Amino acid sequence: MLEAVLIPAAVMGGLGGLLAVVLLVAARKFAVYEDPLIAAVEAALPNANCGACGFAGCHDFASKLVATRDEKMFCPPGGKDTAAKVGALLGLQVEGRDPPVAVVLCRGSRGVANYAGEYAGLADCRAATLVDGATKVCPYGCVGLGSCVRACKYDAIEIRDGVAVVLPEKCIGDGACVAACPRGIIRMAPRGVRVYVACVSHDPGAAVRKYCKVGCIGCKRCVKACTFDAMQFDRNLARVDHDKCTACGACVGTCPQKVIEEVGLTGEAHAKAHPPPKEKKPAAEPTAAAAPPAAGA
């Protein structure tokens, strides 16, 4: 009776032990040596494997960083924290920046932008632009069919009323939406307090007014209002230079189309950005903007 238990136990135990030895030997013999630093660096990374750094995943970034010790390599979603940790591990001064956030430079939703025609094709922005099927009259604005939504793995962007809107708390800054947009209206901006011109139309003002209530008409009031030379102007369109912008709020209040978006402004800046509505006196100019109403002919 005892043999009935002992023999199988011995056989299975022996087999198990033998296999364990084989595995042990294999683990030693076929082990791939990897610098333990790589694992340490990788642990300090966000491990989202998003590819925003330009490398094939977090492990690849870590390996290349340990190999090259290149201080310019940067992990956008990791931002300053990760840069600091990684720098400490390797004794480098890794450039730390806050992860950028995506911004959609268009607010032409169904209520404020004009549409013409009807499109019946693949519900994809790239597909629609191939056949000139985007129904918004403005040829620069958001197509609204959601290629960016499908590209984002973090549900950080959605279509509301025909225009794409970023959810900054979910955005990790990997830029997938930027690549997906066929009109290039999504850009990366620094996180935190900021202003930006939410329009990309290069059409002159008269044309823009005909098709959108919140489009940039190229009046240049914001350019004049900015005391930091941070508002660029090119072909009827204003654009914020984030390296110079101090988010003082001056430009926001002067824009007659209310195209300039502000995020996170407080106190005096907020007041500048949201002046009280003007009284109906033609000569009065209650805000700080100094530009006279009618610019040169």
Partner 1 sequence: MARTFRRGGVHPPEEKQRTERKPIETLPLPKRVVIPMAQCLGAPAEPTVKPKDAVKTGQRIGEPKGFVSTPVHASVSGTVKKVDLFPTAVGARSLCVEIESDGKDEWVEGVDLAGSDVDFSQPDAFLPALTEAGLVGMGGAAFPTHVKLKPPKDAQVDTLILNGAECEPYLTADHRLMVEHAAEIATGLQILAAVLKVERTFVGIEDNKPDAVAAMKKALAGVLGVEVVVCRTRYPQGAEKQLIQSITNHEVPPGKLPMHVGCVVQNVGTAFAAFEAVARRKPLVERVLTVSGRAIREPKNLRVRVGTPLGEIVTFCGGTTDDLRKLIFGGPMMGKALRYEDVPVVKSTSGILFFDRQEAAAVQEFPCIRCGRCLEACPQRLVPCDLGDLAEHGLYDRLADAMDCVECDSCQYACPAHRRLVHLLRLGKSEFRRLQKKG
Partner 2 sequence: MAESTTPTADAAAAPAKAPEPATHELLVTSSPHFATPENVPRIMHTVWLALLPACAAAVWLFGLDALVVIGLTVLACVGFEALLVRARGRSWGEVRRTALDGSAIVTGVLLALNLPAAAPWWMLLVGAFVAMGLGKHAFGGLGHNPFNPALVARVFLLISFPTQMLTWSSPVDSFGQTTAERIEQDKAELDGQTYATPLGKLKDALRNRADPAKLAALRAEAAERYPLLDLFLGRTGGSLGETSALALLLGAALLFWRRILTWHIPLTFVAATALVTGIAWAVNPEVYVNPLVHVLGGGLILGAFFMATDMVTSPVTRLGMVIFGAGGGLITAVIRLWGSYPEGVSFAILIMNALVPLIDRYTRGRKFGETRRAAA
Q: Which is nearer to partner 2, 31 or 206 (CB)?
A: 206
- Considering the rule CB under 8 A, would residue 124 count as an interface residue with partner 1? yes
- Considering the rule CB under 8 A, would residue 130 count as an interface residue with partner 2? yes
Q: Which is nearer to partner 2, 16 or 111 (CB)?
A: 111
- Considering the rule CB under 8 A, would residue 288 count as an interface residue with partner 2? no
Separation between Cα atoms, residue 216 and residue 198, nearest integer Å? 8
Tell me which residue has tokens 């970023």.
Answer: 166
Number of Cβ atoms within 10 Å of the Cβ of 131: 10
Where does residue 177 fall: left (phi above 0), alpha (psi -120 to 50 degrees), or beta otherwise? alpha
- Considering the rule CB under 8 A, would residue 114 count as an interface residue with partner 2? yes
For the chain, how far is it from start to end, CA to CA, in angstroms? 111
Tell me which residue has tokens 């390996």.
Answer: 63
Q: Which is nearer to partner 2, 27 or 297 (CB)?
A: 297
- Considering the rule CB under 8 A, would residue 276 count as an interface residue with partner 2? no
- Considering the rule CB under 8 A, would residue 35 count as an interface residue with partner 1? no
- Considering the rule CB under 8 A, would residue 121 count as an interface residue with partner 1? yes
Separation between Cα atoms, residue 209 and residue 259, nearest integer Å? 12
Distance of closest approach, residue 116 Cβ to partner 1, in angstroms = 6
Strand partners, 212: 113
Question: Which position among 110, 160, 209, 270 is part of the footprint of partner 2 (CB under 8 A)?
Answer: 209
- Considering the rule CB under 8 A, would residue 112 count as an interface residue with partner 2? no
Task: With beta carbons less than 8 A apart as the criterion, state whether 161 and 108 touch.
Answer: no
- Considering the rule CB under 8 A, would residue 210 count as an interface residue with partner 1? no
Question: Which position among 54, 256, 264, 286 is part of the footprint of partner 2 (CB under 8 A)?
Answer: 256
Separation between Cα atoms, residue 41 and residue 44, nearest integer Å? 5
Which partner, partner 1, partner 2, none, binds residue 296 by CB below 5 to 8 Å per kind? Answer: partner 2
Separation between Cα atoms, residue 71 and residue 87, nearest integer Å? 8
Question: Which position among 10, 278, 286, 290 is part of the footprint of partner 2 (CB under 8 A)?
Answer: 278
Q: Which stretch, 87-95, 123-131, 186-194, 244-252, contacts partner 2 (CB under 8 A)?
A: 123-131
Number of Cβ atoms within 10 Å of the Cβ of 1: 5
- Considering the rule CB under 8 A, would residue 203 count as an interface residue with partner 2? yes
